[in-house]
């Protein structure tokens, strides 16, 4: 009688330990699932950073007038689990009260546009633009891409965007 009782208790104990082990394993799996889900899915649900694409160029007063001035900025963009920084070039044209900022990325295939005697030129395939960024020749199908600007406390800021290349219209891609 006592052997049978002891055998039963041992069986019950094994059953209880088996269930306990299963519950602990399930709890660990659930915890790891939450952690993994948070890191893999959260970038997809993040709200865009409204201020993220506005970059400081510098004090307006320090930008020379009547000559295109090349400026570089560092653009930070979301990329999967983190952020990706890249240097981007701009041409700033300041004439009296008028200020324009062009992306230095050629709208043909993306080479860097240089300043020329009467405007801008791309060294890769010879596209050319006048001083206002209007296309005057070459394979590029549109003018230089202008960037949105704002001035806060005398500081010029640009909203940096990438545009689709090789087409006649200006289309934002990021």
Under the binding rule (CB under 6 A), the answer on residue 108 touching ligand FES is yes
Q: Which of 60, 99, 109, 136 binds ligand FES (CB under 6 A)?
A: 109
Q: Which of 63, 89, 111, 115 binds ligand FES (CB under 6 A)?
A: 111
Distance CA 34, CA 152 (A): 43
- 80-116: burial string, b at 16+ Cβ within 10 Å, e else: eeeeeeeebebbbbbeeeeebbbbbbbbbeebebebe
**Closest CB to ligand FES among residues 55, 107:** 107
51-59, 82-90, 133-141, 152-160 -> range binding ligand FES (CB under 6 A): 133-141
Q: Which of 69, 138, 146, 162 binds ligand FES (CB under 6 A)?
A: 138
Site size for ligand FES, by CB under 6 A?
12
């Amino acid at each position: 009688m006592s052997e049978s009782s002891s055998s039963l208790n041992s069986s019950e104990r094994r059953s209880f330990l088996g269930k306990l082990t299963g519950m602990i394993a399930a709890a660990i799996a659930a915890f790891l699932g939450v952690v993994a889900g948070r890191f893999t899915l959260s970038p997809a649900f993040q709200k865009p950073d409204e201020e993220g694409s506005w970059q400081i160029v510098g004090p307006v007063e320090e930008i020379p007038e009547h000559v295109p001035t090349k400026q570089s900025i560092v653009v930070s963009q979301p990329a999967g689990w983190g952020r990706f920084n890249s240097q981007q070039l701009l041409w700033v044209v300041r004439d009296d009260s008028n200020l324009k900022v062009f992306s230095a990325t050629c709208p043909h295939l993306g080479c860097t546009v240089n300043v020329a005697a009467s405007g801008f030129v791309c060294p890769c395939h010879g596209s050319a633009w006048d001083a206002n960024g209007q296309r005057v020749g070459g394979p590029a199908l549109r003018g230089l891409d202008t960037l949105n600007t704002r001035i806060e406390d005398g500081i010029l800021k640009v909203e940096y965007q990438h545009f689709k290349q090789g087409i006649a219209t200006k289309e934002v891609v990021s």
